Structure formats: C-alpha cells, structure tokens
Amino acid sequence: MADTTPSLALPLIAGGQAQKHVTHNEALALLDALVQLAVIDRDLAVPPANPAEGDRYIVAANPSGAWAGWAGRIARYQDGAWLSLVPHPGWLAFVADEAEIHAYAGGAWVPFRSTITALQSLTRLGLGTAADAQNPFAAKLNKALWTALTTSEGGDGHLRYTLNKQAAGNVLSLLLQSGFSGRAEIGLVGGDNLSLRVSPDGGTWTNVFTVERTTGAATFDKGVLREELAVFTASGTWTKPDWARTVTVTAMGGGGGGGGARRGAAGTVRNGGGGGGAGALNSETFSAAEIGATLTVTVGAGGAGAPAITVDDTGGVAGTAGGASIVNDGSAYDLVRAFGGGAGGGGTNSVAGGGGTAGGGVSLEAVGAGGAGGSNGALGASGTTSLRGSGGGGSGGGLTAANVASTGRNAGAGYAVGNGRDSNGGVLGAVGANGTAGQSKRWIRGAAGGGGGGGAGAADGSSGGGNGGAAGLPGGGGGGAGAALNGMPTGAGGNGGRGEVWILARG
C-alpha cells in the first residue's frame, strides 16, 4: 500500500503507526494549502522578505533563494519555512493581485479564460455591461473587430455575417441611435425589401429608399438629386463641393439709377428724367469638371439716381449705370457676366430724359428698360416689365411750355412669369409727389420691380418736382425725377437696385 494519496500526495496513516496525529496534521496542512487555492502573486522569483503564515505564491521563472528550482510551483509559508507544492494539470488558482483565475495547463499557469474554447446555450452574455431579458446580448465597448479565418488557419478567407428573421412581416434591421434615440434604420423593416429610413427624434421616421427584391429597382422617396444653392448679395467666393456634377451660375447686374429733371422758367419746356434700366439676367450651366474649384463672385452695385437740381435754368443730369455682376474661376475669361442696367437720362429744355437700356443692352433674358421722359415736357413712358428679370424705372413728369405739369409714370414689374411671386413696380408720383419704391423679389431666385417716376412740380411753383422711387432688389431700375419751376427744386432720380448672383450645385 502506498504511503500517500495519488492526487494530492496526502500522507496516509499506517496500521500500528505511533504518533498518528503527526501524519494527520500534516495531511490537514496540505489540504489547507491546496483547497480553495488563492495565491498573492505569480510574478515573484525571490521569496518576499516578511511573509505571513499561510501566504501562497506561484513561483515565477528562474527563481532563487529558498525558491530555487520551484518555477511554476505553489510556494506556501508554513511554520516559519517555505513548502513546495507541485501542481497538476487542471488545478485552478485565484491570483489576488490580478483578480483573475489561472489554470495549470501544458506545464504552465495560464489565464483560465484562455482555456475556454466553447460556450453553448448561454441565455445571457454581457461585455462590459449587464445583459437583461430585453437585450440578452449586450456589449459596452469602443471598438469591435470581426476578421475572416484565413486558409492557413483552417478557414476559407471569407466573412459573412448572417441575420435571419422569422417571416416577411417581422423586422430585421440595423438601428443606429444617438443618446439611445433612433436616427437611422436599414434592413428588412416590416417586409422583405431592403429599405433605409431616418428620424430626427426617434419617433417620426422618413423613408429614404427602398430596393425591390425581385427586380433590384431602387426607389428614392425624396429623389436622388442633391442640390445646394448659394445666394450672393455681396461679393465673395464660392467653393465647389466634391459631390457636384453640374453647376448653374446665374448673375443679375445692378439696376441703373433714374435720371434728373430740368428746372426752368415758366413758358419753357422742362423735361422729366428717364427711368433707369434693369440689370441684365444671364445664366449658364457647366459640368463641374469644366470649372475651377473656387469661383470669385462680384455683385454689381445699383446705380445712383441723379441729384435734385437746385439752380434755376439748369437741366437734369443722367443717373449712374448699374454695376456688372461677374463670376470667374481664375481663368482668362469670365464664366458669366451680367451687365448693369443703363442710367436714366437727364431731362433738359430741349431733350427728354432717355430711358436706361435694359441690361446694358446685353441680356439672355429680356429685362425691363427704363421709361423715357416725354418730349416737350409731356407725359413720358412707363418702365417695361420683365417675365423673369427685373423691371425698369418709370419716367419723371415734365412741364410743357404751356405750363402744364404731368405726373410721373409707373415702373415695370419683375418676374411677371411667377403668379404670386412677381414683384410690383413702383407707382407714379402725382404732380408734386414722389414715385413709390419698387417691390423687392418675393422668392429666393426672384426679381424686382423698378421705381416709379416722380411727378413734375406744380406749374404755379407751389411744389417742387417729385423724387423717382428707389428700385426693388435685386436689379430694378430707379425712377426718373420730376421737373420743376425756377425757385423750386426738382426731384432726385431713384437709386437702382444692387445685383445678385445665384450658384446652384447639383450632384
């Protein structure tokens, strides 16, 4: 019969043995060392200086001192000396300083978790967090990696993640959340066709697209075209987005200022000022590859209206032409240029104030011309209306040699093609009254009305000439000034509206 047990080498009491308690106590000490095995550390190769009774360690490699030759063994401090315990495969030990269980396998101590090769039929699994009945698998982490098992490792090099639902009416999807509130969901949502939907709040959902499973045809609920519109009311730069396929550049020049009027003696002809012309409206669509990455945008200024005449027997002067709106990509040639509207002419005693030319005479769209003042101080012309562009300014009123005063004339309307989005032209000024301002655009790519012409001053000198109305924005022509009798000021021409540039990227 052996003297020790086969597994833990506990000493056995022999028949007729004297001092049996010694053998019994030795066996108890070994059990105390090995049952519920927990060690303080597994990284020491030299015994600690002041061990406590019962302390246990897994001896590290290359030990020395009292532990010499004990690498991998359990060292227990007992009765003032170190006891060596040889581990067997399958032993488990809790390592206190690592708070982890280690197993003795393959002649070495390894983390117990590394020995687990299969977990079957788990009901819950939580990684870094607690799983629950609603979420039986839960993970709280910052990164995750799935990689294919290579052929050299026994795999085929592929990686396919398979998800399955019970029936067509069920949901199989990937739900993306922010703050645990849904923002996007892609998958088989309530059907067998692939779809994507998005939400601003996790409660209201908008479908983006659906792919019909039998034909592969994709339907985009909001369309597939992406658009981005930039509106320039002042000069600046524009950067082409990477996704753009086409770029449409539309430019409107500044409107011309209204012309001044004659101040003269009774019994002479005193002509009113002409209305300013509207700025040109030009547009071109380019392939995104045709133009540079950055466009320089110049927005044309509105032309200033002519000043009032305050000196007797003096003819009116012309207003100022509107500035051109220009878009350039740094090449030698402009991509689009829209000239400013012509200035309204000044009325004298022999010449009526001419109407400002529409768009400086060069415009893809027909824009409004300024109304010309009437000859011999008679009633002049209204500004013309434009279907898509801005309206011209109305002419100012004059005084005939027979001392008959005329009213100003109405301005042309802008964007007349748009029912409810058109902009009214300014209204004429009655005798001695100012013309009203033109209406500015009523939608983002609309046009403006011109300014109404000012009325002539009263023939008896009780009132001066009316001012021409200011043009609406963008691109309207200013109204012409009304004439006056000596001793009274004429009206001033109305200012033209500044230009504008629109750049529409599509992709």
- For residue 252, pLDDT over 90 is answered with yes
51 φ, ψ to 5°? -70, 155
d(CA 389, CA 186): 46
6 pLDDT tier (thresholds 50, 70, 90):
low
> Which residues are paired to 263 by β-bridges?
314, 484
56 φ, ψ to 5°? -130, 145
Q: What is the pLDDT of residue 419?
A: 83
Q: What is the pLDDT of residue 364?
A: 82
Task: Pick 114 or 3 by higher pLDDT.
Answer: 114
Question: Are 109 and 102 contacting, i.e. CB atoms less than 8 angstroms apart?
Answer: yes
pLDDT digits 0-9 by tens, 109-141: 999 999 999 989 999 999 999 999 999 999 999
Average pLDDT estimate for 76-86: 91
d(CA 195, CA 209): 6
Q: What is the pLDDT of residue 32?
A: 58
Tell me how far CA of residue 124 lies from CA of 100, 134, 140, 198, 342, in angstroms. 21, 10, 14, 30, 81
d(CA 74, CA 198): 60
Average pLDDT estimate for 51-79: 95
- For residue 26, pLDDT over 80 is answered with no
9 pLDDT tier (thresholds 50, 70, 90):
low
Least confident of 16-20, 314-318, 492-496: 16-20
Q: What is the pLDDT of residue 17?
A: 74
Average pLDDT estimate for 18-32: 65
Average pLDDT estimate for 285-309: 98
Q: What is the pLDDT of residue 25?
A: 63
Q: What is the pLDDT of residue 205?
A: 97
d(CA 456, CA 444): 36
- For residue 31, pLDDT over 80 is answered with no
195-208 burial code (b ≥16 CB/10 A, e <16): bbbebeeeeebeee
d(CA 447, CA 9): 102
- For residue 1, pLDDT over 60 is answered with no
For residue 382, give the nearest of 456, 346, 435 by alpha carbon. Answer: 435
Average pLDDT estimate for 39-51: 96
224 pLDDT tier (thresholds 50, 70, 90):
confident
Average pLDDT estimate for 405-420: 94
Average pLDDT estimate for 54-83: 94
- For residue 81, pLDDT over 60 is answered with yes
Tell me how far CA of residue 380 lies from CA of 47, 275, 355, 424, in angstroms. 115, 10, 10, 19
Task: Pick 346 or 79 by higher pLDDT.
Answer: 346
Grouping H, G, I as helix, E, B as strand and the rest as coil, residue 197 is: strand
What's the pTM? 0.68
Given the DSSP bridges, would you call strands 236-239 and 194-198 parallel, antiparallel or unpaired?
A: unpaired
d(CA 435, CA 176): 60
Average pLDDT estimate for 69-96: 93
- For residue 22, pLDDT over 70 is answered with no
- For residue 470, pLDDT over 60 is answered with yes
Q: What is the pLDDT of residue 23?
A: 64
Tell me how far CA of residue 478 lies from CA of 80, 180, 331, 357, 469, in angstroms. 111, 58, 34, 12, 6
In which residue are the tokens 């600046």 written? 236
CB-CB neighbours of 173 under 10 Å? 18
